[in-house]
C-alpha cells in the first residue's frame, strides 16, 4: 500500500515564524502535491512537483514556497507565517502525470494554527 | 478559475437509506472523480470516471459521468454509520485535480 506521511498532525506557530511542513511518500512516486483545506472551501492546490527539483505553482501559491530535493520528500515552507495561513494542510503523491487511473494518495494532514 | 458546484453543504440521513449527491460544472471535463474524507484523515479515491455516460459501481456506491461532461452524481445505497464523512467531487485537467467544496454526510443509527 502507498503510504504518505506528514511530519506533524498538529502544529502551533506564532505570526512571523518560518514554518516547515514535511511530506514523505514511500512508493517512488514522481508527482507530489500540497493542498490546504478550509471549511466550506474544499481543497485548494498550493504547489505541486512533477519530479525532483521541479515545482509548479498551484491556485494559491502566495505566501508559500516548496522544496523537492529528493524524490520521496516534498516540503512546504511558510516564510513568515500569518494568521490567515491557519488551516489543514494535505500532502498527496501520484506515480505519473497524465496516465489514466493514477490516483492521488493523500497523507493524514497537518492542522496548523498560527497565533 | 474552474468551479464545481456541490450542494447542499451537509446531508443528514437515517441508517439504511439511500442518498444521492450531484456535482455540476460550467466547463467540460474529461475526468470526474469522487473522493471521501473520513474524520481526521486525508481523502481517499472512491470512484473514477473517464468516459461520458459511463456508469460505474464500487460495492454500495454507484457514480455516473454525465453525457454533457459537465456533471456527475454519486449514489450510496443502504447507508451504514461508517459512510459518514466529506464527499468531494473532483475533476482532472492538465494533470491537476480541482476539488468541489464537499458534502458532509451524517448517518443517524
- pLDDT tens-digit readout, A18-52: 999 999 999 899 999 999 999 888 899 999 999 99
CA distance B105 to chain A (A): 14
Q: What's the pLDDT score for residue A95?
A: 81
- Sequence-distant (6+) residues with CB within 8 A of A21 are A6, A7, A8, A11, A34, A75, A76, A77, A78, A89, A91, A110, A112
The count of residues in chain B is 109
Contact B86, B36 (CB under 8 A): yes
**Residue B33 touches chain A, beta carbons under 8 Å:** yes
**Residue A39 touches chain B, beta carbons under 8 Å:** no
CA atoms within 13 A on the CB side of A106: 24
| Reduced 3-state DSSP string for B8-42 | CCEEEEECCCCEEEEEEECCCCCEEEEEEECCCCC
Please provide the average confidence, as pLDDT, over all residues in chain B. Answer: 92
- Among left, alpha and beta (phi > 0; psi -120 to 50; other), residue A42 is left
pLDDT digits (tens, 9 = 90+) for B35-71: 999 988 999 999 999 899 999 999 999 999 999 999 9
- Strand-pair partners of A66: A76
Q: Which chain B residues contact residue A61 at CB under 8 A?
A: none
Query: Quick one: pLDDT band at residue B94, thresholds 50, 70, 90?
Result: confident
Please provide the average confidence, as pLDDT, over all residues in chain A. Answer: 92
> A66: closest CA among A34, A18, A31?
A34
CA distance A65 to chain B (A): 18
Q: Which chain A residues contact residue B41 at CB under 8 A?
A: 106, 108-109
Least confident of A13-27, A50-64, A101-115: A101-115
> A4: closest CA among A102, A100, A97, A94?
A94
| Reduced 3-state DSSP string for B78-106 | CCCHHHCEEEEEEEEECCEEEECCCEEEE
Q: Which chain B residues contact residue A41 at CB under 8 A?
A: 101
Amino acid at each position: 500500500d502507498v503510504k504518505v506521511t506528514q511530519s506533524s498532525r498538529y502544529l502551533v506557530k506564532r505570526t512571523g515564524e518560518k514554518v516547515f511542513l514535511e511530506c514523505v511518500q514511500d512508493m517512488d512516486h514522481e508527482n507530489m502535491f500540497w493542498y490546504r483545506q478550509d471549511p466550506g472551501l474544499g481543497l485548494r492546490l498550493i504547489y505541486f512537483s512533477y519530479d525532483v527539483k521541479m515545482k509548479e505553482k498551484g491556485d494559491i501559491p502566495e505566501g508559500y514556497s516548496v522544496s523537492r530535493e529528493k524524490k520521496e520528500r516534498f516540503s512546504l515552507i511558510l516564510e513568515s507565517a500569518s494568521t490567515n495561513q491557519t488551516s489543514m494542510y494535505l500532502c498527496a503523491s501520484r506515480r505519473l502525470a497524465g496516465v489514466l487511473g493514477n490516483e492521488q494518495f493523500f497523507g493524514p494532514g497537518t492542522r496548523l494554527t498560527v497565533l | 478559475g474552474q468551479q464545481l458546484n456541490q450542494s447542499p453543504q451537509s446531508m443528514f440521513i437515517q441508517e439504511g437509506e439511500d442518498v444521492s449527491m450531484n456535482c455540476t460544472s460550467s466547463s467540460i471535463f474529461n475526468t470526474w472523480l469522487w473522493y471521501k474524507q473520513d474524520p481526521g484523515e486525508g481523502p481517499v479515491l472512491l470512484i473514477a470516471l473517464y468516459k461520458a455516460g459511463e456508469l460505474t459501481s464500487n460495492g454500495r456506491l454507484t457514480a455516473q459521468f454525465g453525457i454533457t461532461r459537465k456533471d456527475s452524481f454519486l449514489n450510496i445505497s443502504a447507508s451504514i454509520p461508517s459512510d459518514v464523512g466529506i464527499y468531494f467531487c473532483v475533476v482532472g485537467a492538465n494533470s491537476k485535480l480541482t476539488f468541489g467544496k464537499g458534502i458532509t454526510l451524517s448517518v443517524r443509527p
